[in-house]
Structure formats: C-alpha cells, structure tokens
Amino acid sequence: MFTIISRIFHFGFKNFWRNGWLSTATIAIMTLSLFVFMNLIMFGVVTRAAASSIQDKIDISVYFTTNTSEDQILSIQQSLQSLSEVKSVDYISRDQALAIFQENHANDPTISQAINELATNPLEASLNVKANDPSQYGAIADYLNSASLSPYIDSVSYTQNQDVIDRLAKIVRNVQTGGFALTILLAIIAGLVVYNTVRLAIYSNREEIGIMRVVGASNSLVRGPYVVEGMIWGGIGAIVSLLLIAPGVYFVSPYLNEFIPSLNMFQYFYTHLAQLLLYALLFGVGIGSFSSFFAVRRYLRN
C-alpha cells in the first residue's frame, strides 16, 4: 500500500516535470482562473465595505419641541435603544446643535450675525437614530410617530427623506445580492474552464493510459499520478495568482480609499494573506484533482 502511494506521488511529480509544456499551459489557465477567483473575493470585500459605508450614512433624526425637557428626551432615547431594530441612538442637545450650526457656518458672516442677534437658541434638541438594517427605518419611524410621543416631537426626518432612504436601502441590498450572484457565476465559469483544460491535458495522455492498463496497472495507479499532477497545477496556480494580484491591490488600494474611507484594501490583503492563500489553494488543488479524477475515468474502461 505504502509502495503504491509513494509510486503514485513519484510518478505524478515526474510526469509534471517531464510534460513541461503541457504543465506550463495548464498552470497558465489555472492561474488565470484563480486570478479571477481571487479578484472576486477582493470584489466582495469592496462591495461589503461600500455597502456598509452607505449604510452608515443613513440615519433618521428626531427633533423635539423646545419645551421638552432633557430628562424626557433621555428617557425616549432609552426606550429607543431597547428596540431590536435600533443600532445606536445619539443625543444632540440644543447647545450642541447650536455649536455645530455655528461651526458649519463660520465662514458665512450673515448667518453668524443673525444667530448672535437672537436672544434665545432657536435650535431643537435631537436624537440621531441608526438602524441595524436600512429597511428597518420605517418601523422605527412608526414607533416615533405613535400618539404617546407626539406631544414632544416636532418632526422626524424619515418622513421627509423616506424616498432617499428607501432607495439607498435598495441599492445596498442589490449590491450585496448582485455581487454574491456574480461571484458564484464567475467562480463556476472559472471552474469549468479549469475542468476543460485538465480534460484536454488528460485527453493528450489517453494512449498512455491505455498502455498502462495493458501492462497491468491498477486503476488507482493509472489515475493517482494524474490527480497528483492536477494538485500540483492547482497549487502552483494558486501561489502565482496571489503573486500577480498583490501589486494590483497595492496600486488600487489608495484610490479605493478615497471613495470608501473605511476600507484599506492593501492592509486587508496583507492581514488576510494566509486565509486568501488557503482559499486559493483549496479552490486550485480541489478543482485540479477533481478534474483529473473525472477526466481519467472515461479512459479507465477496458
């Protein structure tokens, strides 16, 4: 048993080496497919980051009438926080609102002057509510519009921005499901391309398979070396595709960072290198050996 297994690996490595051109061509296709596969993973990271940064920008604000006391607002904040849909609630007092307003309009002398001329602070205190999922804003707004809260509340921004929020929520959803579907589709295509390439490589070896069988080689001894070869092709393809993708990520990373400030692509790549290599190896070695296994099968009859 051990002799057979060691011979299978020995033959596999030797064939790989001696079929130099065939191996090179197959590895090139493998690399290309794995390159696509790795890009899909990185693409997934970007879409997730983009979606969550959009999601982060969505919130609703609740403005309270100026005669609502701070205690009342804080108790409403607590009741909001106890809702399962709510991710966070930030309280902005009337003084803070004024400070923010002044800061935003520091360069506009007319407005600053107008504010200074007023005796009282005209701005309302507010709560800034973020939901776990963009589609949950409707439910939160409904809660805020309930009769028990209406005496304190002046306005809820959701009612004004409902269209925009819903549309953003839809975009986030579409980007996520679309990206996932595209990933699956392209991964299947990459898999089929590899399978076909391996099939061709095995096809060019069909006579040798016949010879081995006539000499009395068992099926596992005929098939084993090809499976080993498939694993080598996949393994090398995985490593080369990672080497190819690294400089690409390095150059693209700063540009992506401008669009999505929360995303540092290169750092992600670097910290997840082991994981990415594992994925690539699993995909490459898996599909390489699987393809060989099935491609040889048809020549093992008789």
Partner 1 sequence: MIVFQGVSKHYEGHGSALEDMSFEIDPGEFVSLAGRSGAGKSTIIKLLIGEEKPSKGRVFFGQYEVNKIHDSDLPAFRRHIGVVFQDFRLLPTKNAYENVAFALEVAGRPQREIAELVPQVLDMVGLGDKMTNFPNELSGGERQRVAIARAMIHRPEVVIADEPTGNLDPFHTFEIVKLLEKINQLGTTVVLATHDKEVINSLERRVITLDKGRIVRDEQKGKYILV
Contact set with partner 1 (CB under 8 A): 3-4, 7, 14-15, 18-19, 207-208, 210-219, 221, 301-302
For residue 284, the minimal CB distance to partner 1 (Å) is 23
**Shortest Å distance, C-beta 11 to partner 1:** 8
Q: Which of 8/141 has CB closer to partner 1?
A: 8
What is the smallest separation between the CB atom of 4 and partner 1, expressed in angstroms? 6
Rounded CA-CA distance 92/103 in Å is: 15
**If you search the block for the tokens 């540092």, which residue do you land on?**
264
Count other C-beta atoms under 10 Å from residue 110's C-beta.
8
224 versus 237: smaller Cβ distance to partner 1: 224
Comparing CB distances to partner 1, the nearer of 7 and 167 is 7
Collect contacts of 94-99 with beta carbons under 8 A, ≥24 apart.
94/66, 94/121, 94/123, 94/124, 94/125, 95/121, 97/121, 97/123, 97/124, 97/125, 97/126, 98/123
Which C-beta is closer to partner 1: that of 134 or that of 225? 225
For the sheet with 60-64, list strands across it. Answer: 86-92, 126-131, 60-64, 153-156
CB 26, min distance to partner 1, A: 15
> At closest approach, how far in Å is the CB of 232 from partner 1?
15
C-alpha–C-alpha distance, residues 79 and 77, integer Å: 5
Listed in sequence order, the residues at least 6 apart from 241 whose beta carbon sits closer than 8 Å to its beta carbon are 31, 32, 34, 35, 37, 38, 280, 284
User: Least CB distance from residue 216 to partner 1, whole Å?
Assistant: 4
- Residue placing its CB nearer to partner 1 in the complex, 77 or 219: 219
Q: Are 239 and 274 in contact (CB under 8 A)?
A: no
- Residue closer to partner 1 (CB basis): 27 or 123: 27
Q: Which residues share a beta bridge with 91? A: 127
CB of 226 to partner 1, least distance (A): 12
Using the structure block, give the residue that is written with the tokens 């299947």: 188
Q: Of the two residues 53 and 219, which places its CB atom closer to partner 1 in the complex?
A: 219
